[in-house]
């Protein structure tokens, strides 16, 4: 029987129509893809529009803002805490009187989780806000002059510190005058320059996590005194001295060490760590043949496993690595070292390795850091990172229970009858940055209050606030701080309890 079925698409005309239809579909798909690509490109590369009064420099919004974002919509990780600060500042304005202002200065657009700050800037500002709220309400706020908090962005890597500082200095004559600056964040050249400029303009500065040796009132890092500078973070010298004492007493298994140093010349955290390793752990390094491997940032480590640890699988491998670098570089080093160990397979005998470094390692803690091993028999299958934290919740629960409990409650909970406030996750305190910023703000607030002879009249003079900071150096107590009671003669903290060595197993 003859098949008489007819398919119009199989005719010459049908095939031409089908080719046209398919072509139109391809064009539509390509057009949609182009629209999506352009939308994504525009979202991430469109010119940044900055709020009034905020400067646009090198594609960033830098300078001072009470309430506006420094990042585009959808990328503003500070939005929650920024809105909380605005609400508190609005409340202060509604109460009348003559408030004063404290500014948090730092690289507020440095939010890359793999960058130097590791995304911890948010935690700092949360801590500063909670301190502001405590200073304005409850027992610490009764009958006292109220304090506003503003944010000053120095831009990525603090490269626009001068623009931010110039705006801050201009605020010293405002109706709610700038009385102090807190933060500073990174121990690098730009931080020292900002501290020097503010000191020249007689603006008190309280650093929160700056730890480089000499970045204090001595001004050793800039060659002249910084009379208006204090800080609440334990200096690198004290950190490594504490670790050296621990090793001498409890880690007799360690004999040799190699040195890894980040040669980023502007980062004084790294350079001062190296000097402190030489000062306090030099004998280990000498027994390791003064093996030394420099690098420049985490990216340089990625290129190769440093030569000083190439014998990681051999009989002459050092017991310890002295790591003078930031946490992001340390993380890359450990990852690459593990990969190298795996690559070598059975020929790489598993042995313990201890890595000694600075307080920046706390970014790895995730609330799980533990007191350093005292047995002399660490876990051979893992790397042990030893460091002295700026502030660790688990330590503070034991050593400073009352001030810690008061602060942690304010940070995480609203209580009946409490004034309106925003609260945050307890996990935001694990890296210690939020605690340090809180204590810097409480130090600033305490100094302002002590210099304030008439809370309803003219604001205190900044010179009198500097004198208050000096009185902390002479023994007067800082109100409300968690980690320190007062300051030493160089503006460094006197901790409430001796520093402790913690370890993280990686």
pLDDT higher for 334 or 6? Answer: 334
Whether residue 158 is contained in a domain is answered as yes
Per-residue pLDDT at 36 exceeds 50: no
Give the domain-ending residue among 389, 408, 443: 389
Same domain, yes or no, for 111 and 220?
yes
Give the domain-ending residue among 389, 423, 452: 389
Q: Beta-carbon neighbour count of residue 87 at 10 Å?
A: 16
Tokens (6 digits) for 447: 């100094």
Same domain, yes or no, for 223 and 242?
no
Question: What pLDDT is recorded for position 444?
Answer: 97
For the chain, the average pLDDT equals: 86
The pLDDT of 28-43, averaged and rounded, is: 48
Same domain, yes or no, for 213 and 125?
yes
Same domain, yes or no, for 365 and 450?
no
Same domain, yes or no, for 214 and 271?
no
The pLDDT of 199-207, averaged and rounded, is: 98
pLDDT higher for 114 or 79? Answer: 79
Instruction: Kindly give, in sequence order, each residue whose CB lies less than 8 Å from that of residue 310, ignoring residues fewer than 6 positions away.
Output: none
DSSP characters over 241-264: HHHHHHHHHH-TT---EEEEEE--
Per-residue pLDDT at 344 exceeds 90: no
Per-residue pLDDT at 14 exceeds 60: no
Question: 2: pLDDT confidence band, cut at 50, 70 and 90?
Answer: very low
Whether residue 483 is contained in a domain is answered as yes
pLDDT higher for 258 or 117? Answer: 258
Whether residue 35 is contained in a domain is answered as no
Question: 38: pLDDT confidence band, cut at 50, 70 and 90?
Answer: very low
Whether residue 479 is contained in a domain is answered as yes
Question: What pLDDT is recorded for position 338?
Answer: 83
- Say if CB 254 and CB 320 are below 8 A apart: yes
Whether residue 3 is contained in a domain is answered as no
Same domain, yes or no, for 201 and 106?
yes
The pLDDT of 144-156, averaged and rounded, is: 94
- Percent of the chain past pLDDT 90, that is, above it, reads 62
What phi and psi, each to the nearest 5 degrees, are found at residue 490? -100, 10
- Say if CB 486 and CB 478 are below 8 A apart: yes
Same domain, yes or no, for 349 and 435?
no
pTM metric for this prediction: 0.88
Whether residue 86 is contained in a domain is answered as yes
Question: 114: pLDDT confidence band, cut at 50, 70 and 90?
Answer: low
Instruction: Kindly give, in sequence order, each residue whose CB lies less than 8 Å from that of residue 477, ignoring residues fewer than 6 positions away.
Output: 485, 486
Q: Give the residue carrying structure tokens 């602060």.
A: 407
Question: 4: pLDDT confidence band, cut at 50, 70 and 90?
Answer: very low
CATH number where 349 lies: 3.40.50
CATH number where 422 lies: 3.40.50.2300
Whether residue 79 is contained in a domain is answered as yes
pLDDT higher for 405 or 69? Answer: 405
Domain containing 258 equals 237-389
User: Please, what sign has the CA dihedral across residues 406, 411, 417, 419?
Assistant: positive
Question: What pLDDT is recorded for position 313?
Answer: 75
Instruction: Kindly give, in sequence order, each residue whose CB lies less than 8 Å from that of residue 388, ignoring residues fewer than 6 positions away.
Output: 234, 238, 239, 240, 242, 243, 358, 359, 499, 500, 501, 502
What phi and psi, each to the nearest 5 degrees, are found at residue 496? -65, -30
Per-residue pLDDT at 37 exceeds 60: no
Same domain, yes or no, for 83 and 181?
yes
- Say if CB 127 and CB 106 are below 8 A apart: no
Distance CA 192, CA 194 (A): 5
Same domain, yes or no, for 451 and 327?
no
Q: Sheet of 292-295: strands edge to edge?
A: 292-295, 257-262, 320-324, 353-356, 383-387, 502-505, 370-371
pLDDT higher for 328 or 190? Answer: 190
Whether residue 17 is contained in a domain is answered as no
| Strand 383-387 to 178-183 pairing | unpaired
Question: What pLDDT is recorded for position 348?
Answer: 76
Question: What pLDDT is recorded for position 20?
Answer: 61
Question: What pLDDT is recorded for position 119?
Answer: 77
Give the domain-ending residue among 372, 389, 406: 389
Same domain, yes or no, for 150 and 91?
yes
Same domain, yes or no, for 219 and 336?
no
Same domain, yes or no, for 344 and 285?
yes
Tokens (6 digits) for 458: 């003219």
Question: What pLDDT is recorded for position 17?
Answer: 54
Of 36-40, 125-129, 261-265, 450-454, the one with minimum mean pLDDT is: 36-40
Per-residue pLDDT at 132 exceeds 70: yes
- Terminal-residue alpha carbon distance, the chain: 79
pLDDT digit string (tens) for 377-409?
887 778 999 999 999 999 999 999 999 999 999
Q: Which segments of 256-303 does DSSP mark as H helices, in order? A: 268-287, 297-303
Of the CA atoms within 13 Å of residue 484, those in its CB half-sphere come to 29
Question: What pLDDT is recorded for position 47?
Answer: 45
Question: What pLDDT is recorded for position 42?
Answer: 39
Question: What pLDDT is recorded for position 264?
Answer: 82
Q: How many folded domains does the chain comprise?
A: 2
DSSP β-bridge partners for residue 324: 261
């Amino acid at each position: 029987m003859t098949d008489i079925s007819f398919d119009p698409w199989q005719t010459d005309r049908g095939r031409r129509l089908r080719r046209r239809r398919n072509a139109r579909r391809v064009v539509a798909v390509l057009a949609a893809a182009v629209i999506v690509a352009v939308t994504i490109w525009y979202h991430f590369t469109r010119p940044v529009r900055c709020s009034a009064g905020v400067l646009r420099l090198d594609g960033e919004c830098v300078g001072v803002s009470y309430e506006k974002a420094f990042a585009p919509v959808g990328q503003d990780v500070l939005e929650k805490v920024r809105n909380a600060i605005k609400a508190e500042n609005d409340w202060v304005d509604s109460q009348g009187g003559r408030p004063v202002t404290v500014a948090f200065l730092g690289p507020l657009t440095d939010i890359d989780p793999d960058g130097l700050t590791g995304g911890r800037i948010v935690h700092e500002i949360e801590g500063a806000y909670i301190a502001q709220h405590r200073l304005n309400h409850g027992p610490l706020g009764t009958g006292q002059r109220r304090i506003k908090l503003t944010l000053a962005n120095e831009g990525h890597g603090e490269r626009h510190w001068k623009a931010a500082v110039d705006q801050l200095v201009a605020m010293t004559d405002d109706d709610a005058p700038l009385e102090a600056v807190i933060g500073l964040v990174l121990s690098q050249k730009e931080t020292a320059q900002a501290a020097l400029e503010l000191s020249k303009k007689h603006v008190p500065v309280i650093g929160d996590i700056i730890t480089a040796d000499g970045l204090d009132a001595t001004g050793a890092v800039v060659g002249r005194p910084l009379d208006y500078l204090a800080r609440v973070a334990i200096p690198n010298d004290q950190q490594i001295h504490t670790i050296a004492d621990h090793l001498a007493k409890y880690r007799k298994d360690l004999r040799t060490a190699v040195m890894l140093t980040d040669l980023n010349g502007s980062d004084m955290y790294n350079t001062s760590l190296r000097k402190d390793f030489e000062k306090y752990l030099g004998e280990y390094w000498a027994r390791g043949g003064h093996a030394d491997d420099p690098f420049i940032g985490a990216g340089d480590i990625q290129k190769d496993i440093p030569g000083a640890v190439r014998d990681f699988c051999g009989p002459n491998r050092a017991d310890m690595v002295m790591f003078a670098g930031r946490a992001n570089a340390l993380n890359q080093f450990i990852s690459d070292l593990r990969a190298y160990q795996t690559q070598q397979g059975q020929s790489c005998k598993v042995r313990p390795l201890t890595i000694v470094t600075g307080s920046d390692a706390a970014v790895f803690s995730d609330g799980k850091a533990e007191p350093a091993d005292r047995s002399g028999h660490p876990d051979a299958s893992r790397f042990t990172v030893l460091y002295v934290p700026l502030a660790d919740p688990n330590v503070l629960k034991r050593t400073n229970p009352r001030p810690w409990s008061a602060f942690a409650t304010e940070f995480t909970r609203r209580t009946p009858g409490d004034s309106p406030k925003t609260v945050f996750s307890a996990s935001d305190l694990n890296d210690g940055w939020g605690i340090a910023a809180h204590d810097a703000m409480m130090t600033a607030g305490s100094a302002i209050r002590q210099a304030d002879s008439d809370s309803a009249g003219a604001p205190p003079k900044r010179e009198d606030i500097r004198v208050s900071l000096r009185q902390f150096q002479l023994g007067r107590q800082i109100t409300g701080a968690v980690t320190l009671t007062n300051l030493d003669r160089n503006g460094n903290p006197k901790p409430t309890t001796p520093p402790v060595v913690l370890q993280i197993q990686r």
